[in-house]
Chain A
């Protein structure tokens, strides 16, 4: 168990280092930063001043080392756009993004797992096909469109839920549903496939031969073995929700990290871009590590390796 975790942790550290380099390199590759900061009306002198002030005239390795050292101590520099420390900007927006991602994942899991189990138990039936169809429609539906439909339906017509902002907890429900829809199809199919395989296995026949109740056979004996790929993919999906929810943040007027990333990329606010890319990569790495740990808890055979 210790060796397994140690190996995963070393791998995670290496991935983080790589991302650090890539995040830095990408912003430098996207054009002359001094020119874009100075703006279209700036003179050559202005550009030169900016280049000197921001340290952009120094060799790249120097710039990188300085940035990495500062980042390690939590200092990501200042945003050109907001004229404020990047760390503070992200700290303000992170709770919204995390709240959004967690509500999206919760709704997705609460929908996908029971439907996947039902589908697997009635494989080939009308119910199974209906559930498959719903998953397909969910996958095909553009999230901005679904978001607008939900806003019109539940927000404006029925007036049950707020249509924008997260001043109260129920503000997370509609955007959470929209986010969940993109994750449900994959989670549902994985649950279904895993459960079909598990239910056909010899140990399930044994469990039934022992006279266990259907609930115990399905939820205890089959689901545990079927849940490992679901855990891994759910972790990736959560990472995706945390980083890729720009469209939904825009539709529901939520100013989270996704919105900040989009804004800073379009305005070439490179300290923010670097920090957000690094943050999201760290989140992915962290989530994968958590998923590995959860799988090691679920499957004793992994702990030995």
Chain B
């Protein structure tokens, strides 16, 4: 199957010299959920924003391949990118409280997406907005259209964001920690909603999260990111059954699994924090936090295949 989104060797650096993304490759297939997992500051969001060309000034992006279907994103002008964003590829964000413009009604903000990309009238835009609000489980959509964001709860606002992202029936939806800022019960609702929508619409979903519970629930494939690199990528089953990279193993140890994790033992944790890495860094960025580190970890690390569709970036992996 041809991927919807294909990225090879994406690098993003900032003007202060930090290398936020250091040569990552991933692809998202039609209709699948691909989870990008990692701690805060590992470069997940930067990856997502660079796909959308939404990085601020001061960020430099380069990639060998960055393709949306057959369209080369690396060669597209700002204007062409703007035509694609919100139309064929859409994104929702972590902060539903601040992601909507406080000065405009929900309906106006939703309708303008369709007006921009499909050149329809305001009335047609509002019709579609009302239908989608109903679709994402908002009752009385007609009333909500004329409300302002400050009149809605966080969960409702995130539903509005999701509905707004679906206005033009995108093929790719990038969701950057869409439930992190929400209550646990609302989190579950939003995840269920995303799953349902994906199944109905055949969306390709790139889901960014730090929550392994969400990964277990949502993902078909997983890429684990650490300090700007993908250290392990596998199907969700393979990753949870046989994690190959010490970082992935550490992450899984931090999460209790009902029935499996002994009740009387403390949960695992990974000491230290994600290091800030400059452009010239060589070797494994995890070596200072890794219990298995050897001298080999300071050299070039090969990317190895541990099973079919299961790769890791570690010297320990069998070659």
- Residue ranges of A at the interface with B (Cβ–Cβ < 8 Å): 201-203, 205-214, 216, 221, 224-225, 298-301, 304
Within the complex, the shortest CB–CB distance from A85 to chain B, in Å, comes to 48
Q: For residue A300, which residues in chain B have a CB less than 8 angstroms away from its CB?
A: 102-103, 105, 148, 150
Which of B91, B102, B103 sits near A209, CB closer than 8 Å? B91
Interface band, chain B: 20 to 34
Q: Are A224 and B98 in contact (CB under 8 A)?
A: no
Q: Are B91 and A299 in contact (CB under 8 A)?
A: no
Q: Are A203 and B100 in contact (CB under 8 A)?
A: yes
Q: For residue A207, which residues in chain B have a CB less than 8 angstroms away from its CB?
A: 101
**Closest B-chain residue to A203, C-beta based?**
B101
Report if B99 contacts A (CB, 8 A).
yes
**Closest A-chain residue to B174, C-beta based?**
A209
Within the complex, the shortest CB–CB distance from A70 to chain B, in Å, comes to 46
Given contacts A202-B95, A205-B93, A300-B148, contact A210 B86 (CB under 8 A): yes
Which of A205, A208, A299, A304 sits near B103, CB closer than 8 Å? A299
Please report the C-alpha to C-alpha distance between residue A301 and residue B100 in the assembled complex, in whole angstroms. 13
B79-127, CB < 8 A from A: 82-87, 90-91, 93, 95, 98-105, 112-113, 116-117
Report if B54 contacts A (CB, 8 A).
yes
Q: Are A203 and B148 in contact (CB under 8 A)?
A: no
Q: For residue A211, which residues in chain B have a CB less than 8 angstroms away from its CB?
A: 82-87, 113, 116-117
Known contacts A213-B116, A298-B103, A299-B103; 16 further A-B pairs (Cβ under 8 A): A203-B100, A203-B101, A206-B161, A208-B85, A209-B52, A209-B85, A209-B90, A210-B85, A211-B82, A211-B83, A212-B82, A212-B116, A216-B116, A225-B103, A301-B102, A301-B150
Report if B208 contacts A (CB, 8 A).
no
Q: For residue B54, which residues in chain A have a CB less than 8 angstroms away from its CB?
A: 205, 208-209
Q: Are B102 and A203 in contact (CB under 8 A)?
A: yes
Please report the C-alpha to C-alpha distance between residue A213 and residue B82 in the assembled complex, in whole angstroms. 7
Among A206, A208, A221, A300: residue with most chain B CB under 10 A: A206
**Closest B-chain residue to A206, C-beta based?**
B99
Given contacts A225-B103, A301-B148, contact A210 B113 (CB under 8 A): yes
Q: Are B148 and A201 in contact (CB under 8 A)?
A: no
Please report the C-alpha to C-alpha distance between residue A211 and residue B114 in the assembled complex, in whole angstroms. 10
User: Using an 8 Å CB-CB cutoff, how does the interface string of B277-312 with A read, 1 for contact, 0 for none?
Assistant: 000000000000000000000000000000000000
Q: Are A212 and B102 in contact (CB under 8 A)?
A: no
Within the complex, the shortest CB–CB distance from A103 to chain B, in Å, comes to 30
Within the complex, the shortest CB–CB distance from B119 to chain A, in Å, comes to 13
Within the complex, the shortest CB–CB distance from B173 to chain A, in Å, comes to 11
Within the complex, the shortest CB–CB distance from A126 to chain B, in Å, comes to 14
Q: Are B98 and A203 in contact (CB under 8 A)?
A: yes
Within the complex, the shortest CB–CB distance from A194 to chain B, in Å, comes to 13
Within the complex, the shortest CB–CB distance from B33 to chain A, in Å, comes to 20
Q: For residue B105, which residues in chain A have a CB less than 8 angstroms away from its CB?
A: 300
Q: For residue A202, which residues in chain B have a CB less than 8 angstroms away from its CB?
A: 93, 95, 98-99
B152-175, CB < 8 A from A: 161, 164
